[in-house]
Structure 1
Amino acid sequence: MAGQRVDLPVPGRDASLGVIRHGHYGRPVLVFPSEGGRAEDFVRHGMLGAVANLVEQGRVTLFCVDSADRTTWSDRSVPSEERARRHHDYTRWLEKSAMPWIAGELGGQHELITLGTSMGAYHAVDFALTHADIAPLAIGLSGSYDVTAWHGWGDRGDATYFANPTDYVTGMHGAHLDWIRSRVSVLLVAGQGPLEAAPAQALPSSKKFADLLADKGIPHQLDVWGPDVEHDWPWWHRQTAHHLPRFC
C-alpha cells in the first residue's frame, strides 16, 4: 500500500516539502507527523498497518505530509514570533501547494479529516480551526495546543497569536465563532502514562484545551486513556484504529 512521494514547492522559497498518498478511495485524511517528521513516518512507525483495513476497503485515502518543525517551532535559536512567521509559511505551503495537489488527486475539493500525533496533533487541530471550510474534523493524539509553552522566548505578536489555538480560540466571538461552532468538531486523545504529562504536556494541555472548546461551545470530545498509555507509537496505533473508523 506504500505510495510514492511527491515533492511540492514552498511558495516564495527555493525549497519543497513532500506528500505521500495511501489509498485509492474513501474519505481523505490529511496526516501530520510527529515533531520534525516526514511523510514517510506513517509507514515507518506502523501507523498505516494499524488502519490497513480501512485503506484496503476504500474507506479512507491518507495524504501524509512532511513537517517543517525543524525550521519553525523546534528551532529554539530564534524567538517565538519568528518561529510563528515560519509556521505561517508552512501553512501557505499547505494552502498553495498541498491542497491543490490533493484536490487534483481527488478530482475536486473534498472535506478533509486532519490527524496528527504529538506536535502533529497541534498541526491537525490548528489547520482545522483555521480552515474549517475544507477540514471540519480534527483528530489530535497526544497533542499540546499552547505554543507559548514550548520554551518560547522574545516578544509575542500577531504571528504567534494567530498560530496559537489557545490564543485565537480564546479570542473567538460573534459571527466567526458561530460559524466555527457550525463547522468544526475536534477530537482530543491523550493517555495518563509515561511522558504524557511531562515533558510532552499532552494530558494537561488536552484537558485545558477541551475546557476552552467547551467554554466557546465548539463541538469536541476529550478521550483520556488509562495510566499505562504512553506518549509513543504503539498507543497511537491503537487510538487511530479505535477512532478513525467512526468517521469513514
Structure 2
Amino acid sequence: MIAYGHFGRPVLVFPAEGGRAWDFENNGMVGAVADLIDAGRVKLYCVDSADASTWSDRGLPTEERARRHDGYERWILDSVVPWISGDCGGAKEIATLGCSLGAYHAANVALRHADVFPLALCFSGNYDPTAWHAWGEQGDATYFHNPMAYVANLHGAHLDWLRDRVSLLLVVGQGAFEVDPTGALPGTRAFAARLAEKGIRHELDVWGHDVPHDWPSWQAQLRHHLPRFC
C-alpha cells in the first residue's frame, strides 16, 4: 500500500485489473487531484490487486476465483482498514475508489461492508463477475461477490439500512473500449438500474462518445467529481 496526503478524507484506491499500488500515481491519477491532496482535503491509500490469482485467472472455475477473492477482501478488512484508521488517528469512514475492474472492487466492498465504506466512486466498471469468462458451477462465493445478483435480492431491514448508509457514484464514457471488450457502458447502466430498483442511493454520470476507457478519461472524471466528496 502507498499513501498520499497528510490530512483529509481517507479514500481506499483499488487499481485497474492486475494493477499495483503505484499505478494510480504512474498513470497520472494522483497528479490529477494533487491540489486536493496538498490542501489536506483527501488522503489516498492505494493497494495492490490480487486479480491475477482471483478474477483474472481464467484457468480457475468462477467459484474458486470468488473464494480466492474473499481472501483478498479479508486482507483489506483485517490489515488495510486498521492501518488506515491508525494513520488517520482513529476509526474514520473510508471511501472507496477504482477504475475498470477496480470499480467493481470499490462497489462490491462498499455494498458488503457499508459500515466501513459508506461511499464508492466507480469509473468504467463492470459489476457482474459471471460475465468475465465464467465457467464451472457457481455457488455462494460467486453469488455474494456479484453485486448484480445480491442487490437484486436485498430486502427488509438490511436493505433499509443500506438505503440510509451507502452511496455510489457510477461514471462511464461512451468512447472506445467502454462497450467492447470491457462491457463497462452496458454494465454500468445495468448496475445503476439495479440500484434504482432497490432505492439505493447512487448517481449515474455517462460521459460522451469522445471519452474512452483509459487513464486520461479517468483523470478528468476524478478531477470533476472528487472535490464534491472531500
Q: Among residues 147, 159, 169, which one is paired with 2:151 in the alignment?
A: 169
The offset of 1:241, in angstroms, is 0.5
Residue 100, structure 1, aligned to residue 82, structure 2:
yes
Aligned to 1:87: 69
Tell me what 1:59 maps to: 41
State the alpha-carbon separation in 2 of the partners of residues 103 and 217 from structure 1.
Answer: 30
Structure 1 equivalent of residue 114 of structure 2 = 132
For residues 163-197 of structure 1, give each alpha carbon's deviation from its aligned partner in whole angstroms, at most 9, with x where no partner exists. 11011101110000000000001110000000001
Q: Would you identify which runs of 4 or more consecutive aligned residues in structure 1 move more than 4 Å?
A: none
Residue 224 (structure 1) aligned to one of 199, 202, 206: 206
Give the superposition deviation at 1:243: 0.3
Q: State the identity %.
A: 63
Q: Per the alignment, in what secondary structure is the counterpart of residue 138 of structure 1?
A: strand
Tell me, in whole angstroms, the C-alpha distance in 1 between the residues paired with 2:190 and 2:118. Answer: 21
- What is the aligned partner in structure 2 of residue 38 from structure 1? 20
Match of 2:32 in 1: 50
- Is it true that 1:121 corresponds to 2:103 in the alignment? yes
Q: Matches of residues 179-194 of structure 1 in structure 2 within 5 Å?
A: 179-194=161-176
RMSD (CA atoms): 0.5
Q: Which runs of 5+ in 1 are unaligned?
A: 1-18
TM-score (norm 1): 0.92
Q: Distance in 1 between matches of 2:116 and 2:131?
A: 28
Tell me the TM-score normalised to structure 2 length: 0.99
Letter in 2 for 1:163: H
* AA of the residue aligned to 1:154: G
In structure 1, the residue corresponding to 2:203 is in which secondary structure? strand
Matches within 5 A, 1:14-29: 19-29=1-11
Deviation at 1:112, TM superposition (A): 1.0
* In structure 2, C-alpha distance between the alignment counterparts of 1:243 and 1:51, rounded to whole Å: 10
Distance 1:38 1:77 in 2: 22
Q: Secondary structure at the match of 1:48?
A: helix
- Superposed CA deviations along residues 41-82 of structure 1, whole A, max 9, x for unmatched, are 011111000000000000000000110000000000010000
- The answer to whether structure 1 residue 68 and structure 2 residue 50 are counterparts is yes
The yes-or-no answer on 1:214 pairing with 2:191 is: no
CA displacement 1:11-47 (0-9 Å, x = unmatched): xxxxxxxx11000000000100000001100111110
Alignment of 1:137-148 (within 5 A): 137-148=119-130
* Alignment correspondent of 1:77: 59
CA–CA distance in structure 2, aligned partners of residues 93 and 203 of structure 1: 30
3-state secondary structure, aligned to 2:70: helix
Following superposition, the deviation at residue 141 of structure 1 comes to 0.2
The equivalent residue for 1:4 is none
Q: Which whole-Å CA distance do the structure 2 matches of 1:227 and 1:103 have between them?
A: 40
Q: State the SS of the aligned residue for 1:189.
A: strand
CA positional deviation for 1:104? 1.1
